[in-house]
Amino acid sequence: MTDSPIDLTDLFPRSTFDADGPAPRIVVLGTGYLGATHAVAMAQLGMEVVGVDTDPHKVEMLTAGKVPFYEPGLPELLTEQLATGRLRFTTDVAEAVGWGDVHFVCVGTPQSKTSHAADLRFVEAATTAIAQNLTHDALIVGKSTVPVGTGARLRTLVALAAPADVRAELVWNPEFLREGKAVQDTLHPDRIVLGGTTDDSEALLRRVYAGPIAEGSPVVVCDLPTAELVKVSANAFLATKISFINAISGVCEAAGADVKVLADALGHDVRIGRQFLDAGLGFGGGCLPKDIRALMHRANELGASGAAGLLQQVDEINMGQRSRVIELAIEACGGSVLNRRIGVLGAAFKPHTDDVRDSPALNVAAALHLRGAQVTVYDPQAGDTARSSFPTLGYATGVDEAVEGSDVVLVLTEWDEFVDADPARLATLAHQPAVIDARGKLDAGQWREAGWTFRGLGRAAA
């Protein structure tokens, strides 16, 4: 599809904003990670969908069946849904809004350049564009992660921008996507949160999510502020859990204990659970860091100093893990990494994605490079995105090339390819078989038996 205007009313039959009428027509504003996944999933659930973006190149790629980022299962589903005719993409906001009934706002909310606050320019622009171009009653649904209080302000923008004879309602339906499992999370969500709805808008959204609801996905109906807080609170809790076990890992190292065994023991307590209790390099990516900082900023604005102080500690502990891995690499190289060869396995902030935003792996690799190390990075999916962000680092095309001639190997992203690697064979490639498991996933005994000097966070040196 090109930038030229299209008559979407001719493409799909018309319906009205009616909770009991025909299936609502879906418009998704923003076709980045969240928006593209949501648009494809809505089509998979049987609805007619138009994805809108201001970037013509992104629209052209999606229209051609190409996903601009790596997400398992999404390319195949995109191709399938384009073939059905239910899914289309365009740059024409006015035409799409004039056609649609339910408009999902799925644009980014990056961290502000001057503070920890979320930058809401894109959310405000998208919401205003919807309101200005409405031609009939419609529902505006925010999915972007925003600070509490945003929805109330956006309702004022909608009231001022929408035509007087149009009924425009704004509600919030936060997203809970995990990169690498986004398709599954959209089609089979573990909960559906509807914030600030009326009886009509709730009924309409229940029809939109009829498939997942029929499968048993619970629906939580709440006020607008609660819906806005759910996503950031969930991310803050997960971040806190990660930083907790990383703080305890420091105690384990000092006491000669094993944080991995300790985490296994803690995980048997059903009140705690085992997930997110792997001590290691810490969290990164485009969501957790910015979301906890935005919540910290908003908590300070609201006078909730206790929450702000807790999140400050969570953030500091997380960032400290990167420094600890750098220290271990320097120790492994005898006190200096100058002119030493370091093989880095992993660039993405987590496996099953090519996302390198605020990646702890790349942060460590770049820091060692600045200390004079010869750093060679390999990642099975994030090599290109890493190279565009950190072009001065060296990049390998496979594990062997990254390990060859190394003085120390750092496992910084827990891809299966690294966890399942043969340590005995890799030992023959390294100049000095020393490995730092910064994700707590390697079998320490197996690597040591293969001749490697093994170090891990929260695990005693041997």
pLDDT surpasses 60 at 2 = no
- Among 411, 449, 459, 404, which Cα is nearest to 428's? 404
What does the pLDDT read at residue 114?
Answer: 87
CA 304 to chain centre: 26
Confidence band of 126 (pLDDT split at 50, 70, 90): very high
| Alpha helices (runs of H) in 333-455, residue ranges in sequence order | 360-370, 383-389, 399-403, 416-419, 423-427, 444-449
Q: Which two tokens stand for residue 284?
A: 């990164």
Average pLDDT over every residue of 227-251:
96
Confidence band of 385 (pLDDT split at 50, 70, 90): very high
The DSSP result for 236-271, as a single string, is HHHHHHHHHHHHHHHHHHHHT--HHHHHHHHHTSTT
Average pLDDT over every residue of 367-379:
98
Tens-digit pLDDT profile for residues 394-413: 999 999 999 999 999 999 99
pLDDT surpasses 90 at 307 = yes
What does the pLDDT read at residue 113?
Answer: 86
Average pLDDT over every residue of 254-283:
95
Angle value at C-alpha 259, between 255 and 260, nearest 5 degrees: 150
Q: Which two tokens stand for residue 228?
A: 């806005």
Q: Which two tokens stand for residue 33?
A: 């990670």
Confidence band of 21 (pLDDT split at 50, 70, 90): low
| pLDDT mean across residues, the chain | 93
What does the pLDDT read at residue 438?
Answer: 97
- Among 82, 51, 49, 48, which Cα is nearest to 65's? 82
What does the pLDDT read at residue 23?
Answer: 84
What does the pLDDT read at residue 12?
Answer: 35
Q: Which two tokens stand for residue 8?
A: 């979407």
Round to the nearest angstrom and report the end-to-end CA distance of the chain: 60
pLDDT surpasses 50 at 14 = no
What does the pLDDT read at residue 16?
Answer: 38
User: For residues 379 and 383, what is the distance between their CA atoms, to the nearest angstrom?
Assistant: 5
User: For residues 418 and 381, what is the distance between their CA atoms, to the nearest angstrom?
Assistant: 13
CA 28 to chain centre: 18
Residue 287 phi/psi, 5-degree rounding, is -115, -65
Cβ–Cβ under 8 Å, residues 387 and 395: yes
Contacts of 383 (CB under 8 A, 6+ apart): 347, 377, 395, 397
Sole residue written with tokens 């900082």? 293
Tens-digit pLDDT profile for residues 175-200: 999 999 999 999 999 999 999 999 99
pLDDT surpasses 70 at 462 = no
* Neighbouring C-beta atoms of residue 105, cutoff 10 Å: 28
> Quick one: what percent of the chain has pLDDT higher than 90?
92
| Catalytic choice (106, 252, 287, 333) | 287
What does the pLDDT read at residue 22?
Answer: 75
**Segment among 15-29, 52-66, 207-221, 293-307 with least mean pLDDT:** 15-29
* Neighbouring C-beta atoms of residue 239, cutoff 10 Å: 24
Confidence band of 96 (pLDDT split at 50, 70, 90): very high
Active site residue 287: yes
Average pLDDT over every residue of 95-111:
96
Average pLDDT over every residue of 275-301:
94
Cβ–Cβ under 8 Å, residues 253 and 460: yes
How many residues does this entry show for the chain?
Answer: 462
What does the pLDDT read at residue 460?
Answer: 73
Tens-digit pLDDT profile for residues 248-264: 999 999 999 999 999 99
Reported as type and span, the H/E element at residue 33 is: helix 33-44
> Quick one: what percent of the chain has pLDDT higher than 70?
95
